[in-house]
Amino acid sequence: MVTIDGVVIRASVDRVLDLATDVERWPDILAHYRWVRFLQRRNGGGTVEMAAWRPFGPVRYPTWWVSEMTVDQPAREIRYRHVRGITSGMDVVWRLTPGADGVEVTVVHQWGGPPWPFVGGLAARVVIGPVFVHGIAARTLAGLKRFAEEARP
């Protein structure tokens, strides 16, 4: 399963990188995040626990995962390796590329699926990736874009 989400944010690359790496602040600025907390900090990243809602009309489905987060400031990349939760084993990379119209942010999720015999890969490609992963990533990028472009501190 591979999902790719992207957005152009009209703000400085430093501002976008700061917002993208300040994950503990996300529940304050992104309504679909329930909580985000570091379980262990290391070099601007560490082990981070995240929980978000995936809305389906008036119904919200709770999601939860733990990732190993690494930040490569010079490359303007943030990487996650999901280590707990249904998406354990998923690799995620955020790439920030400055351009004439702002910062292009691309988020790529790659995963073989849960270890369910016969249906794990299918569940990842048909439901988990397009419905949950894309649904949450698209909301995250849209929310960070709104916040960054409003020029708040």
Residue 9 pLDDT greater than 80, yes or no: yes
Nearest to 145, CA basis, from 2, 43, 20? 20
Residue 48, classed as helix, strand or coil, is: strand
Q: What is the pLDDT of residues 48-81, one digit of tens each?
A: 999 999 999 899 999 999 999 999 999 999 999 9
Residue 18 pLDDT greater than 70, yes or no: yes
Across the beta sheet with 2-9, the strand order is: 2-9, 102-110, 91-99, 77-84, 59-72, 45-56, 33-42
Looking at residues 8-13, what average pLDDT do you find? 96
State the pLDDT at residue 153. Answer: 53
Q: Which residues contact 93 (CB under 8 A, 6 or more apart)?
A: 77, 78, 79, 80, 107, 108
Q: Which residues, in sequence order, are bridge partners of residue 3?
A: 109
In this prediction, what percent of the chain has a pLDDT beyond 70?
A: 98
State the pLDDT at residue 54. Answer: 94
Tokens 């690494």 found at? 70
Mean pLDDT estimate for the chain? 95
Contacts of 138-142 with CB under 8 Å at 24 or more apart are 138/5, 139/30, 139/32, 140/26, 140/30, 140/32, 140/33, 140/107, 141/5, 141/6, 141/7, 141/105, 141/107, 142/7
State the pLDDT at residue 152. Answer: 58
Q: What pTM did the predictor assign?
A: 0.94
Residue 98, classed as helix, strand or coil, is: strand
Domains of the chain (ranges; CATH) run 2-149 (3.30.530.20)
